[in-house]
Amino acid sequence: MSDPTNRNTDHWPGATHGMPAPPGWHPGQETGWTQPATPSPADWAPRPDQPAPKKPSKWVPLLVAIALVGTIVVGSVTAISLSNGSNGGATPSGSTTGATDAGIVDVTTFGRQIDSPPNQLFPEGAGTGMVLTSNGEVLTNNHVVQGAWKISVKVPGGSSYTATVVGVDPAHDVALIQLQDASNLETITPGDSTSVSVGDHVSGIGNALGKGGTPAVATGSVTGLNRSITANDPNGSSERLTGMIQTNAHIQPGDSGGALVGTDGQVVGMITAGSDTQTASASATSVGFAIPISTALDVVDQIHAGGGGTVLMGERGYLGVGVEPLDPTTAAQLGLSSGALVTGLQPDGPAAQAGMTTPAVITAVDGKPVNSPESLGPLLHSHTPGQSAQVTWVDQSGSHTATVQLIAGPAV
């Protein structure tokens, strides 16, 4: 992990992770933040007595670069949590739209430094959600909430709610969250995504650029069906999403988890990715992708049924470590060729209590090899808080194996 005192204070630190600065931030305030009781962008405040939050690469949400595969060449696309840009999707000539923002909500996530107390949270990312039930079940992308220690959801023109994760399906990039003490909320109207055709006029609705408030609407048309994209995070891990709806609506960072709506006002897809070249100039071609709403709702049904397949339910097991790819120097020193390099430990967390120190390299969980940081997560996430896991690691004093009791951590 880098020393936060060496950061460039002329820039908001979240910019390197695709996140815009919170309202009121200005250069020189890169010193840390406090978490209000009910988080909202207006309440974010700098704290000169706290260090800037560290951002271990494997704890941040899936702010990924996504390359389009197949016969279409568009450069690259990104999972659209946040970046800079402007809204300006063009409306096709003669098109009409029944776009409505009913049931569209802002999702703000908060992270925390590995060695900080639980109440020291910082704004981490922003996205969009779609309300499925009046009591606050909200559909969004897994990459919107991934790695979050706290999730806040705001209904435009209404209240803010704390949300908990009901279940996620990382393989399909779908998450279902539940707002606490919510009632009488407007909901979306799902449509029939199987009836979508190339050329259909659609609108993308979401929390574009994380600005909050009234959802932004970008109009366009469907330009492709059943597309496959491969998502790669900055550390080289990837996931493949298939069956995607492609659109030329000007999808922007922050729209992730938002609605792709047909002319009848019904939701046909959940916005997931957009071209990272679309904000290069006003004339740049927009390319966006959405998960068909039928696919997303099938995952919701699996979650309601208690999981199975690639669905993970509720809180997942947490070891209390920050990990990075194994560097050649450490690998040579320890005689290893693979593993997850531990660069941070939560005080009194399971790993620290088991005697793990930094630097160390985790090589196995429950006897199954850990070849990289990407392979560590699924092995831990197969456990729930309170369950035990056998962890093997190597440091300069040799190899160690300990049985630890996992605790609750951030969202998967």
CA separation, residue 5 to residues 27, 51, 346, 351 (Å): 14, 8, 20, 27
Domain span at residue 180? 1-314
Evaluate whether 141 touches 187 at the Cβ level (below 8 Å).
Answer: no
Retrieve residue 274's tokens.
Answer: 């957009």
Whether residue 298 is found in the same domain as residue 320: no
Total tally of structural domains belonging to the chain? 2
Q: How confident is the model at residue 239, as a pLDDT?
A: 67
Whether residue 50 is found in the same domain as residue 161: yes
Burial class (CB in 10 A: 0-12, 13-18, 19+), 332: exposed
Q: How confident is the model at residue 212, as a pLDDT?
A: 87
Q: What residue ranges in 132-237 does DSSP mark as E strands?
A: 137-140, 150-154, 160-169, 174-179, 201-206, 216-232
Given 296, 314, 332, which residue is the final one in a domain? 314
Residue with tokens 């919701």: 300
Q: How confident is the model at residue 401, as a pLDDT?
A: 95
Q: How confident is the model at residue 79, as a pLDDT?
A: 52
Q: d(Cα 310, Cα 305) in Å, to the nearest integer? A: 13
Evaluate whether 148 touches 112 at the Cβ level (below 8 Å).
Answer: no
pTM attached to this predicted model:
0.73
Whether residue 267 is found in the same domain as residue 323: no
Given 262, 287, 314, which residue is the final one in a domain? 314
Whether residue 291 is found in the same domain as residue 346: no
DSSP for 145-157, written as a single string: HTT-SEEEEE-TT
Evaluate whether 125 touches 144 at the Cβ level (below 8 Å).
Answer: yes
Whether residue 365 is found in the same domain as residue 379: yes
CATH code at position 29: 2.40.10.120
Q: How confident is the model at residue 223, as a pLDDT?
A: 95
Retrieve residue 387's tokens.
Answer: 């369950």
Question: pLDDT tens digits, residue range 158-198?
Answer: 899 999 999 999 889 999 999 999 999 999 999 999 999 99
CA separation, residue 396 to residues 62, 359, 360, 364 (Å): 32, 8, 8, 17
Residues acting as catalytic residues? 143, 173, 256
Evaluate whether 154 touches 40 at the Cβ level (below 8 Å).
Answer: yes
Q: d(Cα 259, Cα 244) in Å, to the nearest integer? A: 14
Whether residue 191 is found in the same domain as residue 332: no
Whether residue 155 is found in the same domain as residue 39: yes
Whether residue 280 is found in the same domain as residue 326: no
What 3-state DSSP class applies to 142? helix
- State the Cα angle at 312 between 242 and 392, rounded to 5°: 110
Question: pLDDT tens digits, residue range 87-124?
Answer: 333 333 333 456 678 999 999 999 887 777 767 888 88
Low-confidence stretches of the chain (pLDDT beneath 50) = 1-78, 81-96, 233-237, 276-284
DSSP for 350-371, written as a single string: HHHHTT--SSEEEEEETTEE--
